[in-house]
Each structure stands twice: as structure tokens, then as C-alpha cells.
Amino acid sequence: MKVKINDELKEIAENSKIIDILEAEEIIEPVAVDVFVNGEKVNFEDYESFKLKEGDEIEIVYLFASG
């Protein structure tokens, strides 16, 4: 199914959860993230259970620690 992640159209597996897309973005390696789906903030406790659906617009905010 197709979703938008930070404005980019991406193909992800059916029934993907937020945790799945965070793991796929591994090159970025943040120390923390904040995730919004269709403009609504998702609690971090729900990243493993929150099911994404076709057309969702996901926004990920990254915190980094190096300088």
C-alpha cells in the first residue's frame, strides 16, 4: 500500500505498524522521534500497535545527539 512519509510517497507492506517504518529508516539513527499520522500525534507507547492504512500521511520528527 502507498503512504506518504515526510512528504514522500512510499510503498509499504499491508498491515505495517509505525515501528516497521521507523526501523526501515535506519540510516538516519535518531536518539528520539515524534510521529504524527494525518496530523495527529501518536503516543510512543502505540508505535508497536498503531496500524497504518493506505494513503496515510506520516510525519516523523527526529532528535539527534552528535555535534
How many CB atoms sit inside 10 A of residue 9's CB? 8
When the beta carbons of 13 and 28 are compared against other proteins, the nearer one is: 28
Distance between CA atoms of residues 57 and 42, nearest Å: 12
When the beta carbons of 9 and 63 are compared against other proteins, the nearer one is: 63
- Residue 15 in 3-state DSSP? coil
CB 1, min distance to other proteins, A: 23
CB 67, min distance to other proteins, A: 4
Question: For binding to other proteins (CB under 8 A), which residues are involved?
Answer: 6-7, 27-34, 36, 41, 43-44, 59, 61-67
Distance between CA atoms of residues 54 and 45, nearest Å: 22
